[in-house]
Structure 1
Amino acid sequence: MQNLHKLLTIENSELAKILRFNLYGLAATLTKANQEYPFDTGCQVCEELLQELHQLLEPSFSDPRLLEEVGDLKGDLKQLELTNELKLLQLKEIFNNNSELNSYLGNCHIQGQTDAEIWNEIHRKLLRVPEDVAISWRHKALELAQEAGAVVDNINLDELPFVRDEIIYPGLSGTVQAKGLCLSQTALINSEISQTHLADNLYLIAGFLLLYIKFIEIDPDLHHALKSVFSFDVVSLSAKLEQRHQYIDALSDRLHRIQKINENIDTVLNLCAWIDMDEAIHSLVFIPPSERYSWWGKLQKESRHLLKKAADKAVKAGNEVRIKQLSGLYADVCEFSKDDLQLDYGGNPGEVLTCLRVYAKINQQQYPGRVIFRTLR
Structure 2
Amino acid sequence: MQHLYHLLTIQNSELARLLRFSLYGLETSLKKAQSEFPQDPGARVCDEVLQELQNLLQLEAAAVDITQTVEELKLNHLRYAFDADPELNLYLDSSPLQSQTDADLWNEIHRKLLRVPEDLATIWRQRALDLAQEMGAVADNAYVYPLPFIRNEIIYPGLNGSINAQGLSLSQTAFFHTSIIDDQASEELNLLAGFLLLWSKFIEIDPDLHHALKSVFSFDILSLHSKPDQRNQYIDALIDRFQRTKKAEENADTLLTLRNWIDVDEAINSLVFVPPAERYSWWGKLQQESRRALKKVADRAISAGHDVRIRQLTGIYADICALSKDDLQLDMGGIPGEVLSCLRVYARINQDEIPGRVIFRSSR
Q: Give the structure-1-normalised TM-score.
A: 0.77
* Corresponding residue for residue 369 of structure 1: 356
* Corresponding residue for residue 24 of structure 2: none
Aligned pair partner of 1:199 in 186, 191, 195:
186
Structure 1, unaligned runs of 5 or more: 1-77
Contact 1:195 1:203 survives alignment (8 Å): no
* Corresponding residue for residue 176 of structure 1: 163
CA distance in 2, matches of 1:363, 1:155: 50
Would the alpha carbon gap of residues 361 and 112 (structure 1) be closer, same or farther in structure 2, given more than 3 Å must change? same
2:221 equivalent to 1:234: yes
- Where 2:340 maps in the other structure, the secondary structure is strand
Aligned pair partner of 1:279 in 237, 259, 266:
266
State how 1:48-59 maps to structure 2 within 5 Å. Answer: none
Can you list the C-alpha shifts for 1:284-324, whole angstroms capped at 9, x where unaligned? 00000000000001100110011001110110111111111
Shift of 1:251: 0.4
Aligned pair partner of 2:249 in 262, 275, 281:
262
Amino acid at match of 1:232: F
Contact 1:289 1:354 survives alignment (8 Å): yes
Amino acid at match of 1:93: Y
- Where 2:160 maps in the other structure, the secondary structure is strand
* Corresponding residue for residue 296 of structure 2: 309
Would the alpha carbon gap of residues 79 and 319 (structure 1) be closer, same or farther in structure 2, given more than 3 Å must change? closer
CA distance in 1, matches of 2:118, 2:263: 28
Shift of 1:197: 5.4
* Corresponding residue for residue 83 of structure 2: 96
Larger radius of gyration: 1
- Where 2:262 maps in the other structure, the secondary structure is helix
2:109 equivalent to 1:109: no
Aligned pair partner of 1:160 in 140, 147, 168:
147
* Corresponding residue for residue 342 of structure 1: 329
Contact 1:254 1:276 survives alignment (8 Å): yes
CA distance in 1, matches of 2:67, 2:117: 36
State how 1:65-104 maps to structure 2 within 5 Å. Answer: 82-84=70-72, 86-104=73-91
Contact 1:157 1:171 survives alignment (8 Å): yes
2:131 equivalent to 1:144: yes
Shift of 1:141: 0.5
Contact 1:343 1:373 survives alignment (8 Å): yes
CA distance in 1, matches of 2:182, 2:196: 14
* Corresponding residue for residue 218 of structure 1: 205
* Corresponding residue for residue 26 of structure 2: none
* Corresponding residue for residue 344 of structure 2: 357
CA distance in 2, matches of 1:335, 1:277: 23
Identical positions, percent: 63
Contact 1:189 1:195 survives alignment (8 Å): no
Can you list the C-alpha shifts for 1:39-88, whole angstroms capped at 9, x where unaligned? xxxxxxxxxxxxxxxxxxxxxxxxxxxxxxxxxxxxxxx9998544x110
CA distance in 2, matches of 1:373, 1:80: 38
CA distance in 2, matches of 1:122, 1:191: 29
* Corresponding residue for residue 327 of structure 1: 314
- Where 1:196 maps in the other structure, the secondary structure is coil
CA distance in 1, matches of 2:120, 2:68: 34
Would the alpha carbon gap of residues 263 and 80 (structure 1) be closer, same or farther in structure 2, given more than 3 Å must change? closer
Amino acid at match of 1:274: W
Would the alpha carbon gap of residues 200 and 152 (structure 1) be closer, same or farther in structure 2, given more than 3 Å must change? same
Contact 1:102 1:108 survives alignment (8 Å): no
* Corresponding residue for residue 252 of structure 1: 239
* Corresponding residue for residue 123 of structure 1: 110
Would the alpha carbon gap of residues 135 and 223 (structure 1) be closer, same or farther in structure 2, given more than 3 Å must change? same
Amino acid at match of 1:104: Y
Shift of 1:263: 2.4
CA distance in 1, matches of 2:178, 2:252: 30
Would the alpha carbon gap of residues 252 and 349 (structure 1) be closer, same or farther in structure 2, given more than 3 Å must change? same
- Where 2:164 maps in the other structure, the secondary structure is coil
Contact 1:158 1:182 survives alignment (8 Å): yes
* Corresponding residue for residue 9 of structure 2: none
Which moved further from structure 2: 255-264 or 353-362? Answer: 255-264
Structure 2, unaligned runs of 5 or more: 1-65
Would the alpha carbon gap of residues 292 and 81 (structure 1) be closer, same or farther in structure 2, given more than 3 Å must change? closer
Aligned-residue CA RMSD (Å): 1.5
